[in-house]
Each structure stands twice: as C-alpha cells, then as structure tokens.
Amino acid sequence: MSNVEGRNALVTGASTGIGQAIAIRLAEAGCSVAITGRSEARLKETADLCRRAGGAVTTRALDVRDLDQIAGVTKELLSELGRVDILVNNAGINRPAPTQDVDRDNWDDLFNTNVRGGFFCAQALLPAMARNGFGRVIFISSQSGLVGIRGQSVYCASKGALINLARALGVEWAEYGITVNAVAPTFIDTELTRERLNDPEFRRSVLTKIPKGELATVADVAYAVLYLASEQSGMVNCATLPVDGGWTAW
Ligand SMILES: NC(=O)c1ccc[n+]([C@@H]2O[C@H](COP(=O)([O-])OP(=O)(O)OC[C@H]3O[C@@H](n4cnc5c(N)ncnc54)[C@H](OP(=O)(O)O)[C@@H]3O)[C@@H](O)[C@H]2O)c1
C-alpha cells in the first residue's frame, strides 16, 4: 500500500516509545533508517529491532537541543547515505506543571526540544530533499496542539507551534516535491506518560475524553507516519492528522 521501499529515513528520538515504533515500521516497509537519540547506547534495542524487521540501520547520538549537533549529524548522514528522503521529527518531552510553577528552564527545555530541534533538523535536510525532487517531513505533534489541556500550557503551546510550522514549511517547499505534515496523537502509554496514566483517576479522566474508549498505541502512530512518508500521500501537505480516537472532535 505505502511505497517507501528504498527510501532513507531519519527518525529523531527513536530509542523508545513512538519513535521506536516508527523506525521499526519504516524499516519493515523497506526504508534504510537513521535513528537518533541523546544516548547512542539507548538506541541499541531499536537498531536490533529494525534490523530484524529487514532494514539497514545507522545510529547517531543527537541531542536536538544542540544546533551544532544537528548540523554535524545531518551533514554526516547526507554524506554517508547520499540522501535523506524522510524526516520524522519525533523527539519530544513534557514537564506538566501548573502555570505558576513554570520557570524559564521548563519553558526553554520544552521549546528547544519540541520546536526548535525539529525546525533546525528540517532546515538542514530540506535543501537536499529539494535537489532530489522528493521529501517528506513529519512532525509528531499531539492532540495537545489542537486543544488545551490543564497543567500542560507549555507543552500545548509547543505542540501547537509544530502544527503551524508544518503548514508554513509545507507552503514554502511544496514546489520541490516535498510535503510537510503533522501527526497529533492522543495519550499513549510510553515513558512520557506512564507515571500519569498509572494514576487510575487520571487514566479514567483520559479515557472518558476518547470516544473510542481506549488509548492509542505506538503502532497507530507508526502507520499514520508510514502513510505520510509514502509517495501516495503526495497531495497531503500542511495537514495535521489526529490519531486520537475522536478526542479533538467534541
Ligand atoms: N505518549 C503520548 O501520549 C504522546 C501523545 C502525543 C504526542 N506524543 C509525542 O510523541 C513523541 C514521542 O514521545 P513518546 O511518548 O514516545 O515518549 P518517550 O518514550 O519518552 O520518547 C521520547 C524520545 O525522545 C528522545 N528525546 C528526548 N529529549 C531529546 C533530545 N533533547 N534530543 C533528542 N532526543 C530526545 C528520547 O530519547 P533519549 O532519552 O534516548 O534521548 C526518546 O527516544 C514526543 O514528541 C511526544 O511529545 C506523545
């Protein structure tokens, strides 16, 4: 269905959770995947699983808060792989806090990871994609970019920024065969959310907001990304695809 065979993909934040699932799905579909995270050691499991799924894998330590690292790693990958066709900006963090408890470090860390990192990864790779006449850039936003969620103002702001960043970049690069889109998942049980979801009251409050009555899974997001990464999604540009069981519809 989704033709990504032979493409080279870079997935940031691929050591765990959603990024890991995306890397494996792309590898299974015939991509060569470059996977990154702050620690190269933490990428080993994902690398093994991608190889088992049949894909070639390259790993790199890349802290997306560090613009020099972004410049260095993307340059290295372009020279080693020849091209990067698909960029999945997945690395992200959340530090839920009521408004009055948000300090400058909290704000900077969230925005530098969730927004600035993704922008500069895209900036580094878009010109080479344009030269090849094909590119797919996918931002892992969140339903929190579409609605307000109590105690998550900074996270909501950062994920909302990605949705409009995808629109603006998609407009600017469309003429080169590049699409830029965002995916907006609801709650998924990963390292990011586990502590909160283990609180039965919080979990119940989440489930009552999802018409489908269940959490999303990392596989749900990986399939959405696979579609947006494919050749067949070429007319889908500047869009946000909710993977939220209906949370944001009511
Ligand atoms: N789980 C959910 O409910 C949910 C819902 C909607 C959207 N999302 C989004 O989905 C993405 C993945 O989240 P997840 O749930 O899979 O969480 P996760 O398991 O905590 O994964 C986050 C990934 O990002 C990496 N990372 C964190 N800071 C980084 C940095 N400065 N530089 C590079 N990599 C960094 C982590 O790797 P290292 O620690 O090894 O660096 C890890 O692989 C995030 O953008 C998140 O906002 C999650």
Question: What is the four-CA torsion angle of 152, 225, 137, 33, rounded to 10 degrees?
Answer: 110
Diameter of the chain by CA atoms?
52
Q: Please report whether residue 195 resides in a domain.
A: no
Print the domain residue range for 77: 8-190+217-239
CATH code for the domain of 92: 3.40.50.720
Query: Residue 176 to residues 6, 131, 165: CA-CA distances in angstroms?
Result: 20, 8, 18
| Closest alpha carbon to 230 in 15, 31, 21, 18 | 31
Q: Is 183 in the pocket of ligand 1 (CB under 6 A)?
A: no
From the CA of 191, how far away is ligand 1's center (Å)?
Answer: 8
Residue pair 9/29 in contact by the 8 Å Cβ criterion = no
pLDDT means per 10 residues, the chain with 250 residues, are 89 98 98 97 98 97 98 98 98 98 98 98 98 98 98 98 99 98 98 97 97 97 98 98 97
Q: Please report whether residue 250 resides in a domain.
A: no
From the CA of 235, how far away is ligand 1's center (Å)?
Answer: 28
pLDDT at site 1: 52
Q: Is 210 in the pocket of ligand 1 (CB under 6 A)?
A: no
Q: Please report whether residue 246 resides in a domain.
A: no
| Catalytic annotation present for 176 | no
pLDDT at site 2: 66
Q: Is 190 in the pocket of ligand 1 (CB under 6 A)?
A: yes
Q: Is the pTM here over 0.85, yes or no?
A: yes
Q: Please report whether residue 81 resides in a domain.
A: yes
User: The tokens of 6 are what?
Assistant: 């032979």
Per-chain mean pLDDT for the chain: 97
Q: Give the other-Cβ count within 10 Å of 193's Cβ.
A: 18
Ligand 1 atom with minimal separation from the 42 CA: 40
From the CA of 20, how far away is ligand 1's center (Å)?
Answer: 10
Q: Please report whether residue 135 resides in a domain.
A: yes
pLDDT at site 77: 98
Q: Is 13 in the pocket of ligand 1 (CB under 6 A)?
A: yes
Q: Please report whether residue 27 resides in a domain.
A: yes
Q: Please report whether residue 209 resides in a domain.
A: no
Query: How would DSSP label each residue in the chain?
Result: ----TT-EEEESS-SSHHHHHHHHHHHHTT-EEEEEES-SGGGHHHHHHHHHTT--EEEEE--TT-HHHHHHHHHHHHHHHS---EEEE---------GGG--HHHHHHHHIIIIIHHHHHHHHHHHHHHHHT-EEEEEE--GGGTS--TT-HHHHHHHHHHHHHHHHHHHHHGGGTEEEEEEEE--B-STTTHHHHTSHHHHHHHHHH-TT-S-B-HHHHHHHHHHHHSGGGTT--S-EEEESTTGGG-
Q: Please report whether residue 223 resides in a domain.
A: yes
pLDDT in tens, 28-85: 999 999 999 999 999 999 999 999 999 999 999 999 999 999 999 999 999 999 999 9
From the CA of 150, how far away is ligand 1's center (Å)?
Answer: 20
Strand partners, 180: 137
Q: Is 37 in the pocket of ligand 1 (CB under 6 A)?
A: yes
Domain count, the chain: 1
